Chain A
Amino acid sequence: MATQEKVDVVIVGAGASGSVFAAVLAKAGKKVVVMDNGPDWHTSDLISSDIWGRRVKPAGAPFILEGKHPVSMGAQGGWGVGGAALHYFANFPRLLPNDFRIRSEHNRAHDWPISYEDVAPFYDKVAQEIGVSGDAAAEELWRPKGQRYPMPPMKTFRSGQVWLKGFAANGIRMVPAAVGMNSTEFKGRAACIYDGWCHVGCPIGALANPLVTYLADARKAGAEVRAWSTVTRVLTDTSGGKVTGVEYYDRNHEKQFQPANVVVLAAWAAQNPRLLLNSATDKHDKGLANRNGLVGKFIMTHFASGTNAMFDEDVENHMGTLGAQFMSYERYGKTAHKGAFGSTFIVAGSSTKLSGLGGIANARPDLFGAELQAFVKRAVKNLSRMNAFGEEQPKIENRLELASEKDEFGMPLGRIIHSYDDNDTALWNANFEEGLKIAKATDAKEVWQGRAVQPTIHLMGGTIMGTGAANSVVDSFGQTHEIANLYCAGPGTFATAGASNPTYTIFALSLRGAEHLAKNWSTVAG
């Protein structure tokens, strides 16, 4: 195993969380290497095609997916520099104050070790740094006051506007969606041209993916991004008290050692615990940061209740943005739906392309042959969809563990077991019932829903944060309770899932963690 030159910090994963840590630490003068197991994507690789867009997703990710509701690794995950944030929709809702204290207020799930007020300044800072379009004042119907967004809301289209009547009739106030996209030119990045291809990656930099935001800043400040580098273990010193770097395989499958003073795992909620478990030593026989057995536990996802509707008018669904034009926290209260606990986040108005899992042809997955042909012909003009995202409650049985099967590097595959419980399904169904009422109060001529399989969207948990080693893996900055110079970043640290799309919170928590690390460098890095 060859040894590379020692650096201050090695960051495993070049997605949303890793890019923030890289930017902050490189700007603080640290020598930073960011490793990623896939290609070094450039914005010019992001072509406007649902088919070609699949290249930025994993092919045969090293996980065995089990449980009643297996996680959607292939569709949700990322592969290569930029990570899943290369194909995210850039919906930027935030968690709300009630997300941080579910245990205190409802005697369920977990409290976070921090409050909304601890994260809010970082939501504001991220918005100013990478650009958010929206109407913060309008959102303050549901959340404490904060800074205004740096850009006005995005344009809306008929695909979103047609729903407003239905929401109003059901007492649901909708506001302009907060999105990580440019409604105007922002810091030299182009304004959005509303072509609706957000989900396959934005090549003009109008959408705030890592390549054009924090990773670009990190590179400018001297960080090295090392693509095609697959980390398999975090190594520790003989006492087991400190990490010393990572073992990885380069593009030629040669084993390398990258020494570092600090290791930040930012490889998403599935790979972070897999790495910790695979780094067991005689001093850490259950894996690093896992004396309490909580590494890999509390894997969480979101479930969407989508309502489709066919209108008489041309709703221009080929254009706009893919995430949302309008959003609402009106059902975000944990007990908003009788008999189903958990928050719901509501969105409406998105571009819908022809192919792909969320495409027009899949809006009626039961149709084929001539019937499908006829449906597609109508739907390309008249179809629109609204969605209600539900919060899964954390369950210790939903977990990642190491399997006996191994990947090409000899590393055990991760087995992810994930199932919803009756409460989660009750919330999913309650949102369908409400979606139906909303759609029926619009001018839609046909309304339908697909309830066959409860979907698993986003991925959170596995290395959750808490007040100490008795209840969690990391603290609120991502520092592991067990080893001071080992950090976890990303949605894996969420103590509960909320119902909001996670990436804005990933950016905010990572910024908070990275700034804290930079300020306390000498204590942490020793």
Chain B
Amino acid sequence: MDAMERRVFLKRAGMGMLAFTVGGADVLMTPGAARAQGLPFRLLKAHEAETIEALGETLVPGAQRSGVAHFIDQQVSVSPGEALLEARQLNVKPPFINFYRAAIAAVDKAAEARSGRRFAALAAADQHAFVDAMRQNKIDGWQGPAGSFVYLVLRSDSIDVVYGTMEGYEALGVPYMPHIAPDRRW
């Protein structure tokens, strides 16, 4: 990366921006803005994104509006070396989309077996009860990555979009304290 590219990249990174595709061109924006603009998903199918949003919102209130599905979708579309997903630290084997697909399928299959409906269609209280059982690996007939691991990864993704950005710190009144403020350095 040359110096100019690096400065622009880092400034946007500090603000929680990622490259999303708008009209065939890459545009930098936050996952929340991508969701608000209704940008199409790169790899996730509509029902997969719906499950991620519902799961994310159950795990961390605010995750849906913060664009958790757009975040994951954008992240699984870039090379593993560029990805910022917690899955990377948790030894998930790339391509990361495979893990998310398997996790979503496991959640929806189990939800249908329990309640006859996909996870996103459950009432909020039922979603909460489902996640509580999933995190403890207490769902009978579960097929896919361990429920506790699905919980850990999706919960981390949701924490990232809600709390992990400068905006998230600001909302909690916590000084973000970057080493050197982005506007001065970048």
Interface band, chain A: 35 or more
* A48 within 8 A of partner (CB): yes
Complex Cα distance A52/B10, Å?
A: 10
Given known contacts A48-B177, A195-B178, A373-B61, is B93 in contact with A354 (CB within 8 Å)? no
Let me know if A48 and B14 touch, CB within 8 A.
yes
Let me know if A65 and B91 touch, CB within 8 A.
yes
Q: Which residue of A lies closest to B85 (CB)?
A: A54
Q: Pick the contact of B177 from A39, A47, A318, A359 — CB < 8 Å?
A: A318
Q: How far is the CB of A382 from chain B (nearest CB, A)?
A: 12
Given known contacts A75-B89, A197-B177, A202-B179, is B14 in contact with A355 (CB within 8 Å)? no
Task: Kindly list chain A residues whose C-beta atoms are within 8 Å of the C-beta of B165.
Answer: 49, 51
Task: Kindly list chain B residues whose C-beta atoms are within 8 Å of the C-beta of A54.
Answer: 83-86, 88-89
Let me know if B152 and A365 touch, CB within 8 A.
yes
Let me know if A44 and B13 touch, CB within 8 A.
no
> Which one of A55-63, A102-110, A299-307, A511-519 is at the B interface?
A55-63
Complex Cα distance A51/B132, Å?
A: 26
Complex Cα distance A52/B59, Å?
A: 22
Q: How far is the CB of A339 from chain B (nearest CB, A)?
A: 30
Let me know if A354 and B164 touch, CB within 8 A.
yes
In the complex, chain B residues 138-186 whose Cβ is within 8 Å of any chain A Cβ: 151-152, 155-156, 159-160, 163-165, 168-169, 172-180
Let me know if B58 and A49 touch, CB within 8 A.
no
Q: How far is the CB of B75 from chain A (nearest CB, A)?
A: 10
Let me know if B89 and A74 touch, CB within 8 A.
yes
Complex Cα distance A355/B156, Å?
A: 8
Q: Pick the contact of B61 from A50, A195, A370 — CB < 8 Å?
A: A370
* A254 within 8 A of partner (CB): no
Let me know if A377 and B178 touch, CB within 8 A.
no
- Name B's interface SS: loop
Interface band, chain B: 35 or more
In the complex, chain A residues 1-50 whose Cβ is within 8 Å of any chain B Cβ: 38-39, 42, 44-50
Task: Kindly list chain A residues whose C-beta atoms are within 8 Å of the C-beta of B92.
Answer: 74
Let me know if A368 and B135 touch, CB within 8 A.
yes
Complex Cα distance A73/B90, Å?
A: 8
Let me know if A50 and B164 touch, CB within 8 A.
yes
* B116 within 8 A of partner (CB): no
* B33 within 8 A of partner (CB): no
Task: Kindly list chain B residues whose C-beta atoms are within 8 Å of the C-beta of A60.
Answer: 80, 88, 93-94
Q: Which residue of A lies closest to B166 (CB)?
A: A49
Q: Pick the contact of B179 from A61, A193, A361, A369 — CB < 8 Å?
A: A193
Let me know if A52 and B13 touch, CB within 8 A.
yes
Cβ proximity bits B8-47 to A, threshold 8 Å, 1 near / 0 not: 0010011010000000000000000000000000000000
Let me know if A355 and B163 touch, CB within 8 A.
yes
In the complex, chain B residues 65-89 whose Cβ is within 8 Å of any chain A Cβ: 80-86, 88-89
Task: Kindly list chain B residues whose C-beta atoms are within 8 Å of the C-beta of A380.
Answer: 172-174
Q: Pick the contact of A318 from B6, B85, B128, B175 — CB < 8 Å?
A: B175
- 11 pairs from A and B in contact (CB 8 Å cutoff): A45-B10, A47-B14, A48-B178, A54-B84, A54-B89, A59-B80, A195-B177, A204-B180, A354-B174, A355-B156, A355-B159
Given contacts A58-B88, A369-B131, 20 further A-B contacts (CB under 8 A): A44-B6, A49-B164, A51-B84, A51-B165, A54-B86, A55-B82, A59-B88, A60-B80, A72-B91, A73-B91, A203-B179, A319-B177, A355-B163, A359-B159, A361-B159, A368-B58, A368-B131, A368-B135, A372-B59, A380-B172
